[in-house]
Amino acid sequence: MRPNPFLSTALAVSLSLLAAGCGSKSETEVASGTYTDPATGKTADYSISSSEDGENGKVTIKTEEGEVQFGGEAKLPAGMTPYPGSKMTGGFAGSSEGKQGGLASFEVKGRAADVVAHYRRQIEAAGLKVKSEMNAEDTIIISAEKPDDAKTSIQITATQNGDMVEGAVTYGSGA
């Protein structure tokens, strides 16, 4: 399999937009179009947007198989709420043929154990079962699955950094 030059360029532009961060929710399209892979003839539609202040820039790529979005406002899986006071700092989401997944990163002033406990309550209330837990120095990680459906899973990572917690919620579901 050879690397897709469009995807490499889109990722580079996406990371540049995300690194330029500052604040507003209003989006402006920076570029859009259709890319045709010369090897396969398959097409992908893309759009690149930026908020007025650059904080919520994103790249969206759509193909006949699904869609992926890098950047923009980080979103937690349905039914989950952020730890109180959290700032969602980034993420990505994708969907394809009945599957979906993503990652939402955050930061908050507090204790890693309290943040993980907050998400654990929501995970268990949603019917998922915590399958593993790791506590290493300043980092706590829990992983959970839906009983009888290992394809529906979630992982919470929280790292204590002074009085701040930096972490991520990684999730996936589907056939």
pLDDT tens digits, 17-52: 333 333 335 678 888 888 888 998 888 888 887 776
**Range among 61-65, 67-71, 130-134, 148-152 with highest mean pLDDT value:** 130-134
Q: Which residues pair with 153 in a beta bridge?
A: 145, 172
Q: What is the pLDDT of residues 58-68, one digit of tens each?
A: 677 888 877 77
Rounded CA separation 146/18 (Å)? 33
With 0-12 CB in 10 A as exposed, 13-18 as middle and 19+ as buried, what is 108?
A: buried
**Contact at 8 Å (CB) between 95 and 69?**
no
> Given the structure tokens 């204790």, which residue do they identify?
111
